A = this chain, B = another copy of it.
């Protein structure tokens, strides 16, 4: 990788953490300068404007999460194990793992829904992929006979993601993973009724 590309990658990486913690709109280029230790010119050499950096940083956050999901889920065999792994991954975000600031999709969703149409569009695409991934775990579970056929994978995927994301928001607000644990126990208890 050439030096220019390395610098560009480092700016994206540092900014992704900053934006996920402190907001895409409310973080300024001065904040990016502090986070990266670069001058303004050193940042704008690599990005046409703040928006390009914002979208690249969001993309980077979702890539880190996607890779983390793929690696963790690959280790699990059954659908129920994969669902438990999804819970653990989202629970990791309470403690800033693998990225700081909570779930990038929810952070971007709540910030962008009214105020940032291009980021909202990117967030809709990424959220759709997360919902589809959940649905596929559930569809496979039905196909393999792990879950009864009367379970609706599409609706169950929405319920799981909405509930876990809401639980994550509560757990991050109170710095207490109990909220996520309560939501997760409820979801696992519910899915057991289809086993």
Contact = CB atoms under 8 A, between A and B. Distances in A.
B166 A161 contact: yes
A183 B170 contact: no
22 contacts: A21-B115, A23-B25, A23-B26, A23-B115, A26-B111, A26-B115, A100-B114, A106-B169, A107-B110, A113-B169, A120-B173, A124-B173, A124-B174, A127-B170, A158-B183, A159-B163, A159-B186, A161-B170, A162-B163, A162-B169, A163-B166, A190-B190
Nearest to A107: B110
A162 B186 CA distance: 11
Contact of A110 (B111, B158, B182, B185): B111
Contacts of A164: 166
A109 B21 contact: no
Nearest to A25: B26
Interface of A: 21-23, 25-26, 100-102, 106-107, 109-115, 120, 123-124, 127, 155, 158-159, 161-167, 169-170, 172-174, 179, 182-183, 185-186, 190
Given A26-B23, A110-B106, A115-B22, A162 B174 contact: no
Given A106-B110, A109-B172, A173-B124, A162 B183 contact: yes
Contact of A113 (B26, B120, B172): B172
A173 B162 CA distance: 12
Nearest to A22: B115
Nearest to A112: B173
Nearest to A178: B158
7 A-B pairs with least C-beta separation: A166-B166, A162-B166, A25-B26, A26-B26, A21-B114, A163-B163, A162-B167
